[in-house]
Amino acid sequence: MHAKKIIVLILLIGFIGTAGCIFDPREAEEPESDGGGTWITPGQPKDVLANITSGLAAAANSNYERSLHDDFTFIPRPEDRSNLGDEVFDGWNKEVEMAFLTRLKGIYLGERLIQFGDENMVFEREDVSVGRAEFEGDYVMTLDLGDGSDPEIYEGRAIFIIVEANQGWMLLSWEDVDVIGSNPTSGYLRGTLRGTE
């Protein structure tokens, strides 16, 4: 009787071994995404600009918002301020910037791109020191309404101040300082969208 049990056990083990595992493995699930784009841990100042770029392009605002310092401010060119009015730009802080971004994404439903500096993110002036970086150079925003029309271009020259905080580097201020060619600046776009709320 004991020999029969051993034979049954050996046959059972052999059957399981040839049949494979009795539990079917499942495919690994993709990590959840809020549609915010790929986040780069901001270990260097320019990582902030890369996160702002992905935050502008993505459906969600998380990368953009996480890149702004709590004391963020936008400073327009004096010409944009005089053309659109002081009240449009007064108190431009992180909250106002995020409201602007949400409004922008509700209008420009197609592709939204921004290039900081040249195609390699090199600026005409770069000053990086301990805890603070200042970049001055060109930017180009390309915004598509998604209706088949040509994209709109906003571009200019700006000074970006990026500081090191507890969460890594963050954008403290964006100051438009000049136009490039005949296209309007980001300040003009910001002021126009806020002024028509």
Q: What pLDDT, in 10s, does the model give residues 124-152?
A: 999 999 999 999 999 999 999 999 999 99
CATH number at residue 183: 3.10.450.50
Residue 87 has a pLDDT of: 94
Exposure of 94 by Cβ count < 10 A (0-12 exposed, 13-18 middle, 19+ buried)? middle
Whether 33 is covered by a domain: the verdict is no
Whether 28 is covered by a domain: the verdict is no
Residue 197 has a pLDDT of: 64
Number of domains in the chain: 1
Whether 10 is covered by a domain: the verdict is no
Per-residue pLDDT of 74-128, as tens digits, reads 999 999 999 999 999 999 999 999 999 999 999 999 999 999 999 999 999 999 9
Backbone φ and ψ for 73, nearest 5 degrees, come out as: -145, 145
Whether 138 is covered by a domain: the verdict is yes
Whether 21 is covered by a domain: the verdict is no
Residue 32 has a pLDDT of: 38
Query: What is the band of 178 on the pLDDT scale with cuts at 50, 70, 90?
Result: very high
Exposure of 2 by Cβ count < 10 A (0-12 exposed, 13-18 middle, 19+ buried)? exposed
Whether 70 is covered by a domain: the verdict is yes
Residue 38 has a pLDDT of: 87
Residue 184 domain boundaries: 45-195
